[in-house]
Amino acid sequence: MTWLVALPVVIPLVAAGLALALAKHSRVQGVISVVALTAVLIVAVALIFVTHTVGPQVVNVGGWAAPVGIAVVTDRLSALMLVVSAVVLLGVLLYSLAQGLADGPKGAPVAIYHPTYLVLAAGVAMAFTSGDLFNLYVGFEILLAASFVLLTLGGTGERIRAGAIYVVVSLLSSLLFLISIALLYGATGTLNLAQLADRIDALDPGLQTVLQIMLLMGFAIKAAIFPLSAWLPDSYPTAPAPVTAVFAGLLTKVGVYAIIRTQTLLFTDGTLDTVLMLAALLTMLVGIAGAVAQEDIKRLLSFTLVSHIGFMIFGISLASDVGLSAAIFYVAHHITVQTALFLVSGLIERRGGTTSLVRLGSLAKVAPALGVVFFVSAMNLAGIPPMSGFLGKAGLLQAGLADGTPLALVGVAVGLATSLLTLYAVVKAWNKAFWQEAPEPLPEASVPRGMFGPTAVLAAVGVVIALVAGPLYSYTDAAARDLRLQDPYISSVLVDDGRGEGQSADAQGGDS
């Protein structure tokens, strides 16, 4: 079943080429995109079953064995990320297709939308399945190129400005990442993650710390961790609703994934765990303080996105099985819930004519179903029992209490305060948008069922995660255990005593 591993990257890329060739046929482009992402979802579900029952799956591209060749790897963590990302990407695609149908030629996605969206999906999958740092970097760059195009769709001045900020910040992140890769290769002679795990302990501890800081800074920019998160609230809200939704829900988690992968595979001595935990606490506090102060629903959600990244980083910084498991669970929960909330905000803007909470109101009378979907997702985000947000936060706080250090206990208190303030922020938004009397008559508009359907389904997925929380926590427990043991990943990539199964000069020449 190893042949499945490359499909989440190959399928969207092939489909992107087809969609680009059929640029004049927007309906055919839509069909191609839906079929491709549905196929990716089916493959991802198969991979999650295979990796859970058999173990990590590895493909050596071109027949060259790792570490000489390129290894594409799927373990429990990456398989879960592939499934959740495929669900979100497919849901947002259906939303955008319905938006195109509702708005007609004027509002339909331009011809470049589908190829770019599929390239974005391929970049996400490449980042999740890369077995070496350079291809992880390539995945990030594919994301950057595709996301810049999507962010500036429509070409308004505000979007170009936001896109420019996003590109400059992303290039800084990429530069840090690229320099780190060069230093790592110069010091260890490899970029294969499994082989790096074997060799990095031989480096000088000071050099290890420098490399870890550089990688963490590069990933922290992408994940929007304080103080490297200022770019996000200004960049995401200006984009079209489907683009904002997939960016907010998914792309920041690619940075979180990279932190999980490198912290558990390369930097296991805990040197910077305290710094990481401190950054997590500040991310929670600064993010939620910004959210409480907002009077625009998109900016409010963008700040809550930043604050909840702090929960995930807190779990990683605990460096324990239970903390890491809860962080992975929380990542899966947050991707679906945050995406659903941004799609709802797009529908609110469509029905109410604005996202300003000062100008909105009375939506409960004209769009009660929209109010229900927003309420369910908002309560899930705030962590109201028994929803998945509550279960994820409970796992993280339990892990913090089990750690028992003063900073971890402070983290528990900050997590509780952030949850309460999140509840305050989303309830304020719900009350103002749906229940207060609108200061001006609402525009004559409707919420297309085709756009409401995928939004409701994604909100329901967040609820389903709570219903299957037991099996999902068992899965994330196993994923966290594998990550901290390292052996399942390393032994799957470096088979036959670390040389792989293919033929290479390195394999024939020994460990020179």
pLDDT digits (tens, 9 = 90+) for 391-409: 999 999 999 999 999 999 9
> Which residue, chain included where needed, has tokens 């992303």?
170
Look up residue 65 and give its amino acid.
Answer: A
Confidence of residue 85 (pLDDT cuts 50, 70, 90): very high
Question: Any idea which of 38-47, 205-214, 354-363, 367-376 has the lowest mean pLDDT?
Answer: 354-363
Tell me: the pLDDT tens digits for 148-206? 888 877 667 777 777 788 888 888 898 999 999 999 999 999 999 999 998 998 999 99
Tell me: the pLDDT tens digits for 435-483? 988 888 888 888 889 999 999 999 999 899 999 999 999 999 999 999 9
d(Cα 483, Cα 330) in Å, to the nearest integer? 16
Contacts of 281 (CB under 8 A, 6+ apart): 310, 314, 407, 410, 411, 414
Look up residue 84 and give its amino acid.
Answer: V
Q: What is residue 302's three-state secondary structure?
A: helix
First and final C-alpha spacing in the chain: 34
Q: What pLDDT score does 507 carry? A: 46
**pLDDT surpasses 60 at 429:** yes
Confidence of residue 488 (pLDDT cuts 50, 70, 90): confident
**Which is more confident, 42 or 270?**
42
The C-alpha angle 133, 282, 88, rounded to 5 degrees, equals 55
Confidence of residue 287 (pLDDT cuts 50, 70, 90): very high
Joined together, the tokens standing for residue 352 give 């109410």
d(Cα 227, Cα 224) in Å, to the nearest integer? 8
Joined together, the tokens standing for residue 104 give 């007609």
Q: What pLDDT score does 497 carry? A: 53
Tell me: the pLDDT tens digits for 302-344? 999 999 999 999 999 999 999 999 999 999 999 999 999 999 9
Q: What pLDDT score does 511 carry? A: 43
**pLDDT surpasses 70 at 505:** no
What are the distances in angstroms from CA 213 to CA 127, 267, 342, 441?
A: 20, 10, 32, 53
Tell me the average pLDDT of the chain: 89
Tell me: the pLDDT tens digits for 337-364? 999 999 999 999 999 988 899 998 889 9
d(Cα 456, Cα 449) in Å, to the nearest integer? 10
d(Cα 142, Cα 119) in Å, to the nearest integer? 7
pLDDT over 70, % of the chain: 95
**Which value, to the nearest 10 degrees, does the dihedral of the CA atoms of residues 12, 18, 24, 27 take?**
-60
Q: What pLDDT score does 107 carry? A: 53
d(Cα 512, Cα 506) in Å, to the nearest integer? 8
d(Cα 404, Cα 426) in Å, to the nearest integer? 31
**Which is more confident, 338 or 232?**
338
